[in-house]
Structures are given as C-alpha cells and as structure tokens.
Amino acid sequence: MDTATVMDIAIESLTVTTLVAAPILAAALLSGLLVGVIQAATSIQEMTLSFIPKLAVMMVAVALFGEWQLAIMMEYFQTIFERVRVLNG
C-alpha cells in the first residue's frame, strides 16, 4: 500500500465523518443558539434549560437523518472492505 492510497483513505474517512456528524452538530448548534438568545432575553440562567432542548433536538435529528447516516457509513465500509479484498487477493 503506497502513501497515496493511505492519504486517499484518510481523506475519505474525514469526509464521511464530517457528513455523518454535520446534521446532528448543526441541530445542536442552532438549538443552543436559540435557547441562548431566549435565556439572554429573559435573564434565566439555568443550565438544564439549555441542555434538555439540545438533547431533544439532537434526538430528533438522529431520527430524521439516521437512515441517511447509516447508508453513507455502509457505503464507505463496503468501499474499504473491497479495497482490503483487492489488496489481499
């Protein structure tokens, strides 16, 4: 296995990781920002008030995007396993 192949696999793995994590992280970011604005406007500084909505929104994001995330990971793993089979075979 040469350096170019290793770098290609590394770039692909970072791309897949970014694609899989982006919807959940974006949902957490947006809900945290919204709760932060509401907390600043109402002067309520309760830690659980910011945690529970973020958790709920992240669970909804997993429910909405979970199938798509699994499909991307399965496709990537099949590609990696095919490369291993070709290298060994």
Confidence at residue 14, expressed as pLDDT on a 0 to 100 scale: 97
Q: Are 23 and 65 in contact (CB under 8 A)?
A: yes
Measure the CA–CA gap between 82 and 24, rounded to whole angstroms: 29
Q: Give the residue extent of every domain in the chain.
A: 3-82
The dihedral through the CA atoms of 75, 73, 53, 42 has a sign that is negative
Q: What is the pTM of this model?
A: 0.79
User: Taking 90 as the threshold, does the pLDDT of residue 78 lie above it?
Assistant: yes
Confidence at residue 5, expressed as pLDDT on a 0 to 100 scale: 86
Pure H helices in the chain: 3-42, 47-88
Q: What would you measure as the largest C-alpha separation in the chain, in angstroms?
A: 65
Tell me: the pLDDT tens digits for 20-71? 999 999 999 999 999 989 988 988 888 778 888 899 999 999 999 999 999 9
Confidence at residue 50, expressed as pLDDT on a 0 to 100 scale: 81
Which amino acid type is present at position 10? A
